[in-house]
Amino acid sequence: MLTFLEDKINTPLGELCILCDTQFTLRAVEWEEHRWRLEKLLDIHYGKMGITRGFSHNPGGLSDAFHAYFAGDLDAVTHLPTATMGTPFQRDVWQALRTIPCGQVLHYGQLAQQIGRPTAARAVGAANGANPLSIVVPCHRVIGRDGSMTGYAGGVARKAWLLRHEGFLNEE
């Protein structure tokens, strides 16, 4: 059985849930209003092995790292330790997402090419949407081929805010 520690922080975009293990390795990050996604993800990935959860203020300094990110230290979350469940393909996509530099974007086809699966743009999109580590695994840095703000599990408005915050989009 795994033990997870959870904290909730206020951000400019709403309340954010941060979940880590007892070694302070991030397991999930989700917006409070989408908590159902977090619960579903935990059940899918950890239901068979079982988990216990408890509240922890700023576990391992993770909450402070998110506060720093939102305050303008964009590298504060870049190297946080993560562990994810998921298929090998999903984990390949999530690992590739972490290589997209802050302030830059790729489209789904480019990300598919980067992982050596040039015809898998749709599958990359699905894996992107299943990302359990919002912001740290920067799925918001993937946009449509035409530059459109395609789906983001936290909402397209949040995606645009994050891209503006990171310097990709100009203030409107």
Q: Alpha helix locations (H) across the chain?
A: 35-46, 62-70, 88-97, 108-114, 121-129, 156-165
Q: Which tokens go with 119?
A: 């015809």
Check 17, 20, 102, 139 and give the catalytic one.
139
To the query of whether residue 102 is one of the catalytic residues in this protein, the response is no
- Fill in the amino acid letter for 60: G
Rounded distance between C-alpha atoms, residue 23 and residue 26, angstroms: 9
List residues with catalytic annotation. 139
